Chain A
Amino acid sequence: MKILISKANIVNHDGIKMGSDILIENGKIAAIGEHLTIEAGRKINAENLWVFPGLVDAHCHLRDPGYEYKEDIISGSKSAARGGFTSVACMPNTNPVVDNSAVVSYITEKAKSEAVVNVYPIGAITKGLKGEELSEMGSMKEAGIVAVSDDGRPVMNSSVMKKAMVYAQQFNLPVISHCEDLDLAEEGSMNEGAMSTKLGLRGIPSIAESVMVSRDILLAEYNNVPMHIAHVSNRYSVELIRQAKKRGVKVTCETCPHYFTLTDKACENYNTNAKMNPPLQTEDDVLAIKEGLRDGTIDIIATDHAPHHFDEKNVEFDCAPNGIVGFETAFPLAYTYLVEPGILSLTQLAEKLSTKPASILNLDKGIIACGKDADLTMVDLDTEFTINVSEFASKSKNSPFDGWKVKGKIIMTIVNGKIVFEASPK
C-alpha cells in the first residue's frame, strides 16, 4: 500500500524541510517534495506536525527470553512504537544470557514474526556476563547482533576488557560499556550524598562510574579502537569524555532522559521508581549532562528501558531492582527539557535520537531520504499532555514520570512503510 504524508515538517539531522510531502511505497521512501499528486491507499494530513527519522534506541531491555512477566518482544516492541522508536537494540542480560548464536536467533526469529519495530540484539561481551571469558562474538554477529555489552554489570577485569575491545573490533562490533567500579559501588542503592545520608541508604559515589569511564577511555585510546559508554550520569564522566574526544579517542557515549530531568531527590520517601543504575545524581550533574548534550560530548540519548513488575518494585528500597521503563517517555522528555529551553535544536534532537545511534550501531537508518527504509516518527510539538503510565503499552509501569506535563506527543510511528502506532484522536 502506498502512503502519502502531506504538508509535514521534515526534521533531519542536517536540516528541516517545512510543509513537504512524503510518499511511501514498498516499505521505502519513494518521493519527497511539495504537492506530490499521487494516488495512495492512505493519505495523511500532517499539517503542523513534524516528521522525524524513526527513533533508534541503542539501549533497552526487552526481557525476552526469561523474564516475560516484565516484558516480551511483542509488548516491548509495541511500547517502543508508542514511544516513536522504530529500531531498538536490546541488551543481553536475559535468561539465558545472549552469549551464543542460539539465543540471538531466538530473538531475531521471534522479532521477525511478532515484533512491530526493528529489533537488534546486543550480545554479551563475556560468557554469562561473568566478566571472565569472551563470548562467541563472531558467531553471534553472523546470527544478527549489532554490538556487544555486559550491560547491568561492568567487565571488572581490565585485561578481559582490553581483549574484548580488540576482538570485537575485528568483527566491527561496537563495545558498549556499563561503567561501574563494583568495589567503589559496594552494595549501594542510590547516589552517595546528603539524600542517601538522610534516607539511611548506602550510597554509591558518582566516581564509581567515572573511574571506569576513565579506564575504558584509556583502553580504547591504547588499542586505538572505538568504545561506546552507556548511560553517562555525572559531571566527572562528561568531562573525562570531553577531554578524550579532544585528543582524538574514538569514544562515543549516551545518556538517558532521567539523567537530565531527575536528581537523587526523587528517591525521597523510598520511591523505588527512582532507583536505577547508575543512580540519579545531583542538580550539578544534571547541568553537566545538559551541557554535554549541547556541546556534543554526549552523542546520543538512549532510553535504558528497563521494565520491572509492580511487585518487584513494591518492596524495601534496597531490595528493589534497578531501572525504569523509558520508551514511552523519552521523546517528550527530551523535547520538553532539551529543545524547549534551547539546549538542543530540533535537528540535533533528530541526530541524538535517530541518526547518531543508527550510525554507532552501523544501521542504515536515521535519515529521511528517497530510497531509505520508511521508518518515520510523526509528532505534535505544540499540545501539552500528561504522562499516564496506565496508558503505556509496556507490560510494566515502573516510571517516575507519571503525571508529568510535557510536550512532544507521538502521533504516528511507521516502520518499513507500515503504520505500527497511531495515536487515538482526542
Chain B
Amino acid sequence: MKLRQKDVLGLEGVSSGEIELILDTAKEMKTILDSNKKRVNYLQGRTVVTLFYENSTRTRVSFELAAKYMGAHAVNVSVGSSSVQKGETLIDTGRTLDAMGADIVVIRHNRAGAPHLLAKNINASVINAGDGMHEHPTQALLDMFTMREHFGKLEGLKVAIVGDIYHSRVARSNIIGLTTMGAHVKVFAPSTLLPVGMEELGSVKVCNTMEEALEGCDVVMGLRIQLERQKKALFPSAYEYSRFFGLNNENVKDLGSDVLFMHPGPVNRGLEMTSNIIDSDQSVINLQVTNGVAVRMALLYLLTGREDI
C-alpha cells in the first residue's frame, strides 16, 4: 500500500488505512534512529526544501534531520533571508524551488491554506508543516504514533486536549486524525478560545470544566498559549489562565498512573502546564520530539517512493 496523494496538506480526507501505513512505516524508521549509524540511502539523490515563513526550531530541524538521515539533500529557506522580503509571491517562490529540482517542499506559513495554494501550483510534493490556524498534520501523526506506541492501539483511547483550541492547528489535526482512528476526543478551553462548530470537525466532546475533560482519559494533551497569535486579550491574565485552564498537580491528582501527558512544545512552563507535570515520568514530551523525526522520515519516504512501486 502506498499513499495516494502527491502532497500531505492535512489529515482531513486521509483514511485510517493511510494513517496506519504512515505509523507503521515510522515504526521501521525509528529502528534506524535507535541504531548508532542513523544513515540509510532511501532518499539518496532527492532534494527536500524546508520553506518556513514562521519561526520554528523543532519542526524545521526535525524535517531537516529526517531528510539527512535518509541521504537527501536538505536545504532550508527562511523568510528573512529570501526574496519573499522583496515581495515575491508564494507561487513564484515555489516555482523557483521547483525549477531548482526540489522533490519535496516542506512549508510552514502563517496563512491557512498556503500549502494548498503551493501544491496546486508546483510539481514537487508539498508537506504542510503548519499553516495558520488550520492543520499541522505531522505533529498529529507523531502524537498518534506516541500514543499507539504506548497503548498499542488508538481505537477507543480517550484523549483530552486542553488549552487554546481556537488558534491551534495541532488541535485541529489531532481531532481529525484521532477520530478517524476511532479514538474519543474531548476538548476544554476558555470559551473565548474555543472556535464555533467544533462538533462538525469530528466526534468531539466540548467540555465545560477541567474535571469533565480529564475524567476517565488516557491521554492529556496540553496546548501552548500562542501569545504571539493573541490579537486581543482573550483571557484576563496569565494568573487567571493558569488557575482555571492550566494543568497542575491539583487537577490531575486523581488521574491514574498510566495516563500520558503530552504537549506539542514549546511549553510555557507554569502557564498551561506546571513543571512537575512536564518533568514527570508520565510526560512523553521529549519522546514526542524523537518520534517526530521518525514520522517525518516515514512521510518523506512514502512521498518520494510514490512512483517507484
Binding site for B on A (CB under 8 A): 186-187, 192-203, 269-270, 311, 314-319
B198–A270 contact, CB under 8 A?
no
Q: Are B196 and A200 in contact (CB under 8 A)?
A: no
Determine if A197 and B197 form an interchain contact, defined as CB atoms under 8 angstroms apart: yes
B88-128 near A? 1/0 per residue, CB < 8 Å: 01110000000000000000010111101100000000000
Given A200-B135, A201-B132, A270-B116, CB of A192 within 8 Å of CB of B196: yes
Partner of B112, one of A187, A194, A315, A318: A318
Q: Are B133 and A200 in contact (CB under 8 A)?
A: yes
Taking a contact as CB atoms under 8 Å apart, the answer to whether A198 and B12 are in contact is yes
Q: Which residues of B contact A186 (CB under 8 A)?
A: 231-232
B68 CB-CB contact with A under 8 Å:
no
15 more contacts with CB within 8 A, not counting A197-B200, A199-B134, are: A194-B197, A194-B201, A196-B197, A197-B195, A198-B200, A200-B172, A201-B113, A201-B132, A201-B133, A202-B133, A315-B117, A316-B117, A317-B111, A317-B112, A318-B113
**Is there an interface contact between A316 and B196, defined as CB atoms closer than 8 Å?**
no
Q: Mark B181-211, 1 if CB is under 8 A from A, else 0.
A: 0000000000000011111110000000000
Query: Nearest Cβ in chain A — how far from B55, in angstroms?
Result: 18
A270 to B128, CA, bound (A): 15
* Residues of chain B from 59 to 103 with CB closer than 8 A to chain A in the complex: 89-91
B195 neighbours in A (Cβ, 8 Å): 196-197, 203
Q: A200-B131, A200-B132, A202-B133 are in contact. Are A314 and B91 (CB under 8 A)?
A: yes
Instruction: Report if B169 contacts A (CB, 8 A).
Output: yes
A315 touches B90 (CB 8 A): yes
Shortest distance between the CB of B239 and any CB in chain A (Å): 25
B109's nearest neighbour on chain A, judged by CB, is: A316
Residue of B114, B169, B199 ringed by the most chain A CB atoms within 10 A = B114
Question: In the complex, how many angstroms separate the beta carbon of A322 from the nearest chain B beta carbon?
Answer: 16
B112 touches A201 (CB 8 A): yes
Candidates A187, A197, A201, A316; contact of B198 at CB < 8 Å? A197
Give 10 CB contacts A-B under 8 Å: A197-B172, A197-B201, A198-B197, A199-B112, A200-B135, A270-B112, A311-B89, A315-B89, A317-B112, A317-B113
Q: Is the CB of B91 within 8 A of A318?
A: no
What CA separation (Å) do A317 and B200 show in the bound complex? 22
Instruction: Say yes or no: B116 contacts A200, CB within 8 Å.
Output: no
Instruction: Find chain A residues with CB under 8 A from B199 CB.
Output: 194
Q: Report the bound CA distance from A311 to B90 in whole Å.
A: 12
In the bound assembly, the distance between CA atoms of A332 and B232 in angstroms comes to 44
Closest B residue to A201 by beta carbon equals: B112
Q: Is the CB of A200 within 8 A of B197?
A: no
Q: Which B residues touch A314, using CB under 8 A?
A: 91, 117
Give the interface size class of chain B.
20 to 34
**Contact pick for B113, options A194, A202, A316, CB 8 Å:** A316
> What residues of B have a CB within 8 angstroms of the CB of A196 in the complex?
195-197
Give the 4 A-B residue pairs with the shortest CB-CB distance, closest first.
A200-B134, A194-B197, A270-B113, A316-B111
How far is B197's CA from A298's CA once the two chains are assembled, in angstroms? 29
Please, what's the 1-or-0 string for B245-283, where 1 marks a CB less than 8 Å from any CB in chain A? Answer: 000000000000000000000000000000000000000
Kindly state the separation between the CA atoms of A203 and B133 in the bound complex, as whole angstroms.
11
Q: How far is the CA of A201 from the CA of B196 in the complex (A)?
A: 12
CB distance from A269 to the nearest CB of B (A): 7
- Chain A residues with CB under 8 Å of B112's CB are 199-201, 270, 316-318
The answer on a CB contact under 8 Å between A200 and B169 is yes
**Residue numbers in B under 8 Å from A197 (CB-CB):** 172, 195-198, 200-201
- Note all chain A residues with C-beta closer than 8 A to B111: 316-319
Most buried by A among B89, B169, B196, B201: B196
Chain A residues, Cβ within 8 Å of B116:
269-270
Q: Which residues of A contact B109 (CB under 8 A)?
A: 316
B197 & A316 in contact (Cβ 8 Å cutoff): no
Is the beta-carbon distance between A193 and B117 smaller than 8 angstroms?
Answer: no
> How far is the CB of A70 from the nearest CB of chain B, in Å?
17
Q: Is the CB of B12 within 8 A of A316?
A: no
Q: Closest Cβ of chain B: how far from A266's Cβ, in Å?
A: 14
CA A270 – CA B90 in complex, angstroms?
15
Chain A's closest residue to B165 (CB) is: A197
Residues of B within 8 A of A317 (CB): 111-113
When chains A and B are docked, how far (Å) is the Cα of A197 from the Cα of B166?
8
Residues on B with beta carbons closer than 8 Å to the beta carbon of A315: 89-91, 117
What is the distance, in angstroms, from A267's C-beta to the closest C-beta of chain B?
Answer: 9
**B197 and A193 within 8 A (CB):** yes
Distance (Å) between the CB of B59 and the closest chain A CB? Answer: 17
Query: B residues within 8 A CB of A318?
Result: 111-113, 132
- Collect the chain B residues with CB atoms within 8 Å of residue A199's CB: 112-113, 134
Q: Which residue of B lies closest to A195 (CB)?
A: B197
- B131 cross-chain contacts in A, Cβ below 8 A: 200
* Cβ contacts under 8 Å, B89 to chain A: 311, 315
Q: How far is the CA of A316 from the CA of B93 in the complex (A)?
A: 13
Docked Cα-Cα span, A269 to B117, in Å, equals 9
B158-192 interface mask toward A, CB cutoff 8 Å, 1 = contact, 0 = none?
Answer: 00000000000100100000000000000000000
Interface residues of B in 122-156 (CB under 8 A from A): 131-135
Q: Which of B12, B90, B91, B231 contacts A187 (CB 8 A)?
A: B231
Which residues of chain B come closer than 8 Å to A203, judged between CB atoms? Answer: 195-196
Q: Is there contact, CB below 8 Å, between B200 and A316?
A: no
